[in-house]
Amino acid sequence: MNLSIKNLFELLFPLLVCSLYLPPVFYTLFTSSLFVLAIVALSKGYKVNFRQILPWLFAGFLVIHFSSFLLSDDYSTIWRSLQNKLSFVLLPFILLVFQPLLTRSFFRKLIAAFFYSSILISVIFLLISSFNLYESYQQLASQNQLSELRPFRYFYASILTHNYIHRSYFGLLIGTALFSSPFIFPINRTKKVFFVLAIFLLLIMLFLLQSRMVLGAFVICTLFYAVLQIIKTKSRKWTIYLVVGLISVATISYFFKDSPYNRFKDVGINNTEISYDAEKFSGTELRLAIWANNFDLIKEYPLLGVGYGDLREKRLEMYQKNNFTHGAKNEYNSHNQILETQLAAGIPGSIFLFAMFGFITWISIKRKDTHLFIITAFFFLNMVTEALFERQIAISFFCTYILAMAMGEKVAFKKEEPA
């Protein structure tokens, strides 16, 4: 194999994306390797188009957060928080060097690597969880402790990847892999069967994770994708898909309304003050309490925010002031990236946050890239209930997979290309 810069990039970048499922040391290793390769590429004549807007928006998002240094003396906390966000500068400019290599054929290889790594990790987690459930059942049943078999009764409870990766972030990756899968759909009939089974496996895994916001965002984006395809192709096939999808969602919602998994049914019914102890609250009610308390904090620091150094302390003070003891005990962040950015970096940070997503959305609309539009919307919807940019895995995913799609050529189906 010729170890050219092009070949090394086409090897390292998919490994970087797939390493999101591995311990963080692998992501650091591949990022460092790409950084060195970018320096070599520049010395070999690769050019950088500094007029590209996206990398500067990403860099601006990080720089705005440095204002925390002016608002606090807790530099160690600030530095730890900023370390998680260094990808907003490093990866966009690495991609800027290799932008000519972000072709349609490259993206198909990238999608294939990401899709099949998602299948592999799902199989591993299912096997481990099934084995652990069987062992728990045998042990507890032999001791007549059937009431303790909650993991067996609620199978999803064991599919939390055993603290290896948070289920919401795992669901985010799986959902994106599913949205990208049509671009690598095989032509061979036998391979089609196995590919459909693989998609079915990811759908089952997405359901078993029981991350309600991820599921909701996935359903919304899937239905919206069908609507866009109807507008784009005027196809009866997509109209049928949409109708079947709506009927399926309506049917499931009807049977789900009285389910113990339905966190939404008690909202607005329970006569409970969300500012008080929330030990018995559902996840949805708990988030409402978290958001209400964080809104109170935003009102006190509306312009520049609190800053990372003092954010934890100020938030705990607000929880205690409002008697939100459950929030204070667990030291919850805002569970909403928009609120979290406003708290940490104020209005300037929020402007850059919306500018990043707005510009990527504009790119997708300009080149009629439904795939980029949907995966960006899917990520944004998940930010409503999770502060995604406070976790390195979500930052890394956004700054690799989604950013590369925005900076490269529009990925297209094989049939759209000449033979």
CA end-to-end distance (rounded Å), the chain: 26
Look at residue 279 and tell me whether its pLDDT is greater than 70: no
Q: What is the pLDDT of residues 307-331, one digit of tens each?
A: 877 788 888 888 888 888 877 888 8
> What pLDDT is attached to residue 371?
94
Which residue is associated with the tokens 């150094």? 309
Look at residue 353 and tell me if it is in a domain.
yes
Q: Is residue 359 part of a domain?
A: yes
Query: How many helices (H) and strands (E) would you count in the chain?
Result: 19, 0
pLDDT of 228 over the 70 cut: yes
| Domains in the chain, number | 1
Residue 191 CA: distances (Å) to CA of 109, 154, 415: 17, 33, 17
Report helix angle 75-84 to 308-321, nearest 10. Answer: 100
> How many whole angstroms separate alpha carbon 381 and alpha carbon 177?
16
Distance CA 174, CA 211 (A): 12
* Structural contact between residues 367 and 410, judged by C-beta atoms closer than 8 angstroms: yes
**Whether the Cβ atoms of residue 335 and residue 287 lie closer than 8 Å to each other:** yes
Q: Which long-range contacts (CB under 8 A, 24 or more apart) does 349-355 make?
A: 349/61, 349/64, 349/65, 349/305, 352/57, 352/60, 352/61, 352/64, 353/61, 355/57, 355/60
The owner of tokens 């000449």 is 418
- The pLDDT confidence band at residue 417, using thresholds 50, 70 and 90, is very low
Residue 104: which pLDDT band, with cuts at 50, 70 and 90?
very high
Report, as an integer, the average pLDDT of 32-49. 93
Tens of pLDDT, residue by residue over 357-398, are 999 999 999 999 999 999 999 999 999 988 899 888 899 999
Domain that holds residue 11: 5-267+336-416
The pLDDT of 247-265, averaged and rounded, is 66
Report whether 144 contacts 187 (CB < 8 A).
no
pLDDT value for 85? 81
Q: How confident is the model at residue 334 (pLDDT cuts 50, 70, 90)?
A: confident
Average pLDDT along the chain: 83
Distance CA 150, CA 276 (A): 28
Residue 348 lies in a domain: yes
In a domain, 320, yes or no: no
Three-class secondary structure of residue 409 per DSSP = coil
Are residues 295 and 302 in contact, defined by beta-carbon separation less than 8 angstroms? no
Percent pLDDT > 70 in the chain is 81
**Count of beta carbons in the 10 Å neighbourhood of residue 319:** 25
How far apart (Å, rounded) are the C-alpha atoms in residues 385 and 291? 10
Q: Is 388 left (phi over 0), alpha (psi -120 to 50) or beta?
A: alpha
Residue 316 lies in a domain: no
pLDDT of residue 256: 65
Instruction: Kindly report which listed range (25-29, 272-276, 391-395) carries the lowest average pLDDT score.
Output: 272-276
Q: Is residue 284 part of a domain?
A: no
Determine the residue type at 271.
Answer: N
Q: What is the Cα–Cα distance from 27 to 17, expressed in whole angstroms?
A: 8
Listed residue (385, 362, 361) closest to 374, CA to CA: 361
> pLDDT of 178-222, one tens digit each?
999 999 998 888 889 999 999 999 998 888 887 888 988 999 999
In a domain, 398, yes or no: yes
pLDDT tens profile 105-158: 999 999 999 999 999 999 988 888 777 777 766 776 666 665 655 544 454 444
* Residue, of 78 and 16, whose pLDDT is higher: 16
Evaluate whether residue 302 is within a structural domain. Answer: no
